[in-house]
A and B are shown apart, each in its own frame.
Chain A
Amino acid sequence: MSDYRIHEHPILTIPVRKEITFFWNDNLLSGYENENISSALIANGINIFGHHHKDNSPQGIFCANGQCAQCMVIANGKPVKSCMTTLKQGMTITPANGLPTLPLVNSVPKMKKIDEIETDVLIIGGGPTGMSSAIELGEFGIDTILVDDKNLLGGKLVFQTHRFFGSTQAVYAGTRGIDIAKKLEDEVRRYPSNHIWTNSPALAVFSDQKIGINRNGSEYVLVKPRTILIATGAREKFLNFKGNTLPGVFGAGAFQTLVNRDLVKPSQKLFIIGGGNVGLIAGYHALQAGIGVVGLVEALPKCGGYKVHKDKLVRMGVPIMTSHTILSANGEDKVESVTIAEVDKFFKPITGTEKSYLCDSVLIAVGLDSVNEFYLKAIGYGIKTFIGGDAEEIAEASAAIFSGKIRGREIAKTLGNHEIEIPKSWYRTAEILKSKPGVEIEEYIPEYQEGVIPVFHCTQEIPCNPCSTLCPHGLIFIDSKDIRQLPTFLGNGYCCEVCEQCVVGCPGLAITLVDYRKDPLQPIISIPFEFKREPLESINRVTAMDTEGNSIGKFEVVSIHKTKDSDRTSVVHIEAPREIATRIAGIQIQDDLITHPLDQYISHIGDDTIVCRCERVMAGEIRSLIHQGYRDFNEIKAVTRAGMGACGGKTCTTIIKRIFREEGISDEEVTDQTKRPLFMEVPLELFAGSDASEETL
């Protein structure tokens, strides 16, 4: 087995799986049974899955989410989405070069009538919102079907290896996303009134108030619910730049899916576009998986994500360049480098500021859009419809969990359980959890004190309170009425017993302890650490960083240890002079070398800025139509085919809207494109009641 797999991880357990063999173009390769074909290919270092029928451009993994068709391969003669199809022993897989040939079929398959199922509640989406809502509904014994398109419940939680922000009391703050997913799933499955359908994408909402579902990926059923909750989450926005569809350019969701769920490395050297929470966290996940992060650019003058996330990343040695944008991803048939530039206040690149970096992949994290097409259809067809989580409003997962809880109760009430109470305080908590990062204050670095003191490298108001619940003596205070406040230490140097619960439990890794007891001149600093221990153990000095990522000297590691209940977070003790001890916030993880730009920047030749990846429509074509006066999205679609491809306008819509704005056309002047089902392509036989499962491959 080749080495594009993650064999060890500081947070994730590597499961033991059965090794099997398959063919890729006559080459015998090995993979794991029941892993996705795409991951098996990536694990073998294969990143080009085929070539587009229109322009022969190389195609590779992009969404890793079953939404686009860019990862198409031919498996045992059938064209399939490799990110949604599991690998079987002996499978013959070939690249999808050009249009696929429909396999010959000699006999009519067995077909049956389509089942119709009635239910009180249908929840589309088994992520944080859908699950917490089903838990509430389960409490009242309300007949609920929860569908999710993936094999695992949890939505995006299943690859969030970090500890969550938010309120410990309300939404499991301080617990890792992957573990919250498990807790919620256990809860959901406890209730007999909850019927869980995984691997069951919703395909369409019809005007006769039925929802078509590909149950268990093999049976088409129509569900007629009394009420429906749309908990479909969000999808990533995309960006137009030259080379934006080269294999190696993908979204943060795809990256996290591959790395944290499928445990493969699609990248060795990653460059990140976008300084929101998604991009910042993806950078941290990359480092944890042993993937180098060359740099991160953010077009705004400041990162939009939580400051603690940003601080964490720069401390680990990732340069963050604000007021910068990507100009191009460069490479023959895969990303080999990236070219960036500084932007002016109108976000226009400034000539002369171009820089290029070697990297093998570019991660796009430029914001999220609500997945609301189910909602719009359901509302339009008069179904009693609820919506929550990111599908309603983009916010943190903690907010999604809480909004699901509220929606669950609201639905129960609607269905006739009038006695159900929804505390007013819940709505206030929901608002707080949704709040954007607030005021940033100057960091308070305490002076030398005696004994032991905690230092909070936490200078921005965000909804988060685990630290205040972790101190066994209650010495850390955050007003429970508004958890956006910054923490305060209520004790003096003789109160803290160095249990280090706050150090390991802070989701922002933003608390250190400075212990002057042994040597007031060379205190010991406790630093949270979520990486492999071995590299630290082999060197005796580490580079200490201040909150903002400035190096403040090299110091000796005294020890690396786990505390009680530390849940995979270690604590590193270093010794440093007392003058700077309180300023130390973390230690550098990544070597500077990887982050150096090339001597000369690479100028991308050719205009291959793609707007619609499915149909290979260029940005230039769209601009030209806009200049000719086109204002109806549907007309642009008719003429260029942008939005007519497999994904149904899921990626090009926001880009085209952006181009309109760049051309000075306001949203009001533009007619939106008509959205029609299906929301995902499925084989025709599914609708005929034939077993369309991959077993028939």
Chain B
Amino acid sequence: MTKSTNNFDVIIIGAGSIGSPTAFYIAKSGLKVLVIDQFPSVGQGSSKRAIGGIRATHSDSAKIRLCLNSINIFSTWKEIYGDDIEWFKGGYAFVAYREEEEKSLKKLLAVQKKFGLNIDWMDKEQFLEVVPDLNHENLVGGTFSPEDGSASPLLATHAFYNHAQKMGAIFHFSEFVEEIIVKDGQVKGVKTSKSIYYSNIVINAAGPWAKQIGQLVGIDIQVNPDSHEAAITESVSHFLNPMIVDIRPFPGSSNFYFYQHSTGQIIFCLTPSPNIWGFSTDETSDFLPLIARRMIEVMPRLKNIRVRRTWRGLYPMTPDGNPIVGWSNEVDGFLLSVGTCGQGFMLGPGLGELLSRMIMKNTNKEDQDILNALSPYRDFSGHELLK
């Protein structure tokens, strides 16, 4: 290790949902870390636009394992590190109002069960016990996973950032990476709008901007942002435990979801159909009418809750809906942790630990399985059962 102030063991590009926990775990391993972000403070890109849902109940093993670890970290964070990140174990409830959804959910359930996840199918009566305010009419049932939950992306990302700093990580904000210095096929550092920093390892954790960072070393990373709109309401007293997910397609949206955050606020979001590609995060007039109708149909009690604010955030999408994690074959020392497809917040802590093990060269068998599944060089033609 070198003493020069511009020399680092690891440079992370992006101080968001991935970069912040990654910085924490790498710094905790004793390495000297620099995090560079284009925004003025931590988590100001996509992280602060995340709604905060955290689940391990995915459809493939890599994400399930990463998120199980994330849940472990989120749920014990306050106990271990002291900060309240508003973790709430309310579970996830995927509702079925038609046979189609019952079928898809049950098919998925089989996969999820295989991985030992705590999730079960519930018929209408059982389901209404978990979520009494659901519209009873035509309800078939749904799956419920009580171990999943939510936390505040704002507070959690901030907590990782604070503790990363305590471990010695350095964060530079309002700084743009202009060049990644490569010599003889090996990363040597980065040149920014302010200075030059040296390191043999550079991690691309740039979220929706991952492709642009990849271009700096001449590699094409298949990450393209599409946007989703979300909104938050006033606080009301607690009445809803799980995140409600409705996967029924509807003109304009392929699915939508909402939950009551620990502050009592309902936070909701939908997946536009067709996707809206690009970097724009400007609010559109379509979103609120589209989702308000769907939410009230699923939960009429929500009709009186007052909507406070709406915003739009970017999902860094990959062709198959799975993240891209691994070392670049083209440029030594260039590590990708990108394409989290709107699940960066829930994947972040798990990915952070994994990346630190990769850098410390002590990955285990399970890590290797995850890395194989998320390899930048995998066949991208596969399709996730459920995003």
Contact B236 A683 (CB under 8 A): no
Q: Is the CB of A108 within 8 A of B301?
A: no
Q: Is the CB of B307 within 8 A of A681?
A: yes
Does A490 sit at the interface, judged by CB under 8 A?
no
| Cα(A210)–Cα(B286), bound, Å | 10
- Best-buried of B40, B293, B303 by chain A (most CB within 10 Å): B303
Residue A55 CB within 8 A of the other chain: no
Q: Using a Cβ–Cβ cut-off of 8 Å, how many residues does chain B contribute to the interface with A?
A: 46
Within 8 A of A (CB), among B24-46: 40-44
Q: How far is the CA of A104 from the CA of B304 in the complex (A)?
A: 9
Contact of A678 among B48, B158, B293, B309 (CB under 8 A): B309
Contact in complex: A638, B296 (CB < 8 Å): no
Residue-wise, chain A 210-236 has the 8 Å CB interface mask toward B (1 for contact) of 101000000010100000000000000
Contacting pair B48 A683 (CB below 8 A): no
Q: Provide the A199-217 mask, 1 if CB < 8 A to any CB of B, else 0.
A: 0000010111010100000
Chain A residue numbers with a CB within 8 Å of B135 are: 108
Residue B381, interface by CB 8 Å: no
Q: Mark A679-691, 1 if CB is under 8 A from B, else 0.
A: 0011111111110
In the bound assembly, the distance between CA atoms of A463 and B283 in angstroms comes to 43
Q: Are B284 and A632 in contact (CB under 8 A)?
A: no
Q: Are B304 and A78 in contact (CB under 8 A)?
A: yes
* Other-chain contact of B236, A101, A113, A212, A638 (Cβ < 8 Å): A101
Q: In the complex, A103→B305 CA distance in Å?
A: 9
Tell whether B264 is near chain A: CB-to-CB under 8 Å: yes
Query: For residue A207, which residues in chain B have a CB less than 8 angstroms away from its CB?
Result: 280, 282-284
Asked if residues A676 and B283 are in contact (CB atoms below 8 Å), the reply is yes
Q: Is B382 interfacial (CB 8 A cutoff)?
A: no
Q: A579 at interface (Cβ–Cβ under 8 A)?
A: no
Nearest CB of chain A from residue B367's CB, rounded to whole Å? 32
Docked complex Cα distance between A210 and B287 (Å): 12
Quick one: which of B255-283 are within 8 Å of A by CB? Answer: 264, 280, 282-283
Which A residues touch B364, using CB under 8 A?
none
**Contact partner of A687 among B137, B158, B289, CB < 8 A?**
B289
Known: A101-B236, A688-B293. A634 touches B282 (CB 8 A): no
Please determine whether B237 and A101 come into contact, CB atoms closer than 8 angstroms.
yes
Q: A634-B41, A688-B289 are in contact. Are A103 and B158 (CB under 8 A)?
A: no
A53–B234 Cα gap in the complex (Å)?
12
Assess the B42–A635 pair: CB atoms within 8 A: yes
Query: Does residue A111 face the partner (Cβ distance < 8 Å to B)?
Result: yes
Contacts of A381 in B (CB 8 A): 282
With A635-B42, A681-B308 known as contacts, the answer to whether A689 contacts B284 (CB < 8 A) is: no
B305 contacts A684, CB within 8 Å? Answer: yes
Q: B residues 304-337 with Cβ under 8 Å of A?
A: 304-311
B292: interface (CB < 8 Å):
yes
Shortest Cβ distance from residue B73 to the other chain A in the assembled complex, whole angstroms: 19
Among A655-691, those with CB < 8 Å from B are 671, 676-678, 681-690
Judging by beta carbons under 8 Å apart, are A683 and B307 in contact? yes
- A53 nearest in chain B by CB position: B235
Q: Which residues of B contact A682 (CB under 8 A)?
A: 306-307
Residue contact A99 to B237, C-beta cutoff 8 Å: yes
CB distance from B283 to the nearest CB of A (A): 6
Q: Please determine whether A681 and B306 come into contact, CB atoms closer than 8 angstroms.
A: yes
**Does the CB pair A220–B289 fall under 8 Å?**
yes
Q: Would you list which residues of chain B between 202 and 254 have a CB under 8 Å from chain A?
A: 233-237, 239
B contact residues around A69 at 8 Å (CB) = 234
Q: Which of A98, A681, A684 has the most CB of B within 10 A?
A: A684
Contact A107 B41 (CB under 8 A): no
Which interface residue of A53, A206, A682, A690 has the most chain B CB atoms within 10 A?
A206
B154 contacts the other chain (CB 8 A) = yes
Given A79-B236, A638-B48, A109 and B308 touching (CB < 8 A)?
A: no
Query: Is the C-beta of A102 less than 8 angstroms from some C-beta in chain B?
Result: yes
**Chain A residues, Cβ within 8 Å of B43:** 638
Q: Are A99 and B236 in contact (CB under 8 A)?
A: yes
- Cβ contact within 8 Å between A111 and B293: yes
> Which residue in B133, B292, B309 is a CB contact (below 8 Å) of A688?
B292
Q: Does B295 have its Cβ within 8 Å of any Cβ on chain A?
A: yes
Min distance, Cβ A78 to any Cβ of chain B, angstroms: 6
**B99 close to chain A: CB less than 8 A:** no
List CB contacts (< 8 Å) of A211-267 with chain B: 212, 220, 222
Number of interface residues of A (CB under 8 A): 52
Q: Are A677 and B310 in contact, CB atoms less than 8 angstroms apart? A: yes
Interface presence of B288 (CB below 8 A):
yes
Decide yes or no: A108 and B306 within 8 Å by CB, A69-B234, A634-B44, A638-B48 being known contacts. no
Provide the B72-86 mask, 1 if CB < 8 A to any CB of A, else 0. Answer: 000000000000000
Find chain B residues with CB under 8 A from A111 CB: 293, 296
- A113 CB to closest chain B CB (Å) equals 8
Q: Is the CB of B44 within 8 A of A101?
A: no
Docked Cα-Cα span, A685 to B300, in Å, equals: 9
* Nearest opposing residue in chain A for B132, CB measure: A104
- In the complex, are the beta carbons of B236 and A102 less than 8 A apart? yes
B157 to chain A, nearest CB (A): 8
Q: How far, in angstroms, from A293 to B42 measured CA to CA in the complex?
A: 49
* Distance between Cα atoms of A687 and B303 in the complex (Å): 9
Chain B's closest residue to A108 (CB) is B300
Contact pick for A638, options B133, B155, B292, B295, CB 8 Å: B155
Q: Is the CB of A678 within 8 A of B295?
A: no
**Could you tell me if A208 and B308 are in contact, using CB atoms closer than 8 angstroms?**
no
A106 (CB) vs chain B CBs: closest residue: B300
Quick check: is B5 within 8 A (CB to CB) of the other chain?
no
Q: Does B362 make an interface contact (CB < 8 A)?
A: no
Indicate with 1 or 0, residue by residue over B144-181, a CB within 8 angstroms of chain A CB atoms: 00000000001100100000000000000100000000
A54-92 near B? 1/0 per residue, CB < 8 Å: 000000000000000100000000110000000000000
A646 on interface, CB distance cutoff 8 Å:
yes
- Cβ of B233: which chain A residues have Cβ within 8 Å of it? 681, 684
Q: Answer whether residue A100 sits at the interface, using C-beta atoms and an 8 A cutoff.
A: yes
Interface assignment of B302: CB less than 8 Å from any CB of chain A = yes
Query: Is the pair A684, B289 in contact by a Cβ cutoff of 8 Å?
Result: no
CB distance from A644 to the nearest CB of B (A): 8
| CB <8 Å contact, A687 and B292 | yes
**Does A586 reach chain B (CB closer than 8 Å)?**
no
**Is there an interface contact between A105 and B235, defined as CB atoms closer than 8 Å?**
no
Q: How far is the CB of A447 from chain B (nearest CB, A)?
A: 66
Roughly how many angstroms separate A102 CA and B233 CA in the complex, as a whole number? 12
Nearest Cβ on chain A to B15's Cβ, whole angstroms: 11
Query: Quick one: closest A residue to B153, CB to CB?
Result: A638
- Cβ B285 vs Cβ A212 within 8 A: yes
**Cβ distance B372 to chain A, nearest Cβ, rounded Å:** 36
Residue from B40, B155, B291, B307 with most neighbouring chain A CB atoms (10 Å): B307
Q: Is A466 an interface residue (CB 8 A)?
A: no
A30-48 near B? 1/0 per residue, CB < 8 Å: 0000000000000000000
Set of chain B residues within 8 Å of A639, measured between Cβ atoms: 154-155, 158
Q: Report chain A residues within 8 Å CB of B284.
A: 206-208
Task: Determine whether the beta carbon of A108 is less than 8 Å from that of B297.
Answer: yes
Residue in contact with B308 in the complex, picked from A103, A222, A646, CB distance below 8 Å? A646
B-chain residues with CB within 8 Å of residue A685 when the two chains form the complex: 292, 296, 303-304
Residue numbers in B under 8 Å from A676 (CB-CB): 283, 309-311
A557 within 8 A of B: no
Q: Which residues of B contact A678 (CB under 8 A)?
A: 307-310
* Shortest distance from the beta carbon of B209 to any chain A beta carbon, whole Å: 18
A585 to chain B, nearest CB (A): 51
Interface pairs (5), CB distance under 8 Å? A101-B236, A114-B289, A206-B284, A634-B48, A648-B308
3 smallest CB-CB distances across A and B, nearest first, come from: A207-B282, A687-B292, A685-B303
> Apart from A634-B44, A638-B154, what are 18 other A-B pairs with CB-CB below 8 Å?
A79-B234, A99-B236, A102-B239, A105-B304, A107-B300, A108-B300, A204-B310, A208-B285, A630-B41, A634-B41, A635-B42, A635-B44, A671-B40, A677-B283, A678-B309, A681-B307, A684-B233, A688-B303
The chain B residues found within 8 Å of chain A, CB to CB, are: 40-44, 48, 133, 135, 137, 154-155, 158, 173, 233-237, 239, 264, 280, 282-286, 288-289, 291-293, 295-297, 300-311
